[in-house]
Structure 1
């Protein structure tokens, strides 16, 4: 399913003329440091478990 989502996203990027490695990148091309940094910025731990961090609850 993840591959299907990635393929769909790439097709949408092509439709709006975004160029791979210039306008967007794939997760496999990211360093482990960058992946970890992004992951930590998206998820925070609360007393009730993990939740997505949004601009409203950041």
Structure 2
């Protein structure tokens, strides 16, 4: 009878230890930041600024 009780206790302990089963690990995706290059570079804003200043100066 003691062997039966010991077997039942071990069975209950073993089944509760594996109740959740194997879960897949959660891996967060890696964020990749890609640098974009503009076709007009950094010269468009200064050229537009010069054109606006020239237009304002010629209007006076």
Q: What TM bracket, shorter-length normalisation?
A: under 0.3
Asked which structure has the greater RCO (Cα within 8 Å, sep 6+), the reply is 1
Higher helix share: 2
Greater Rg by CA: 2
Higher strand share: 1
- TM-score calculated relative to the size of structure 1: 0.26
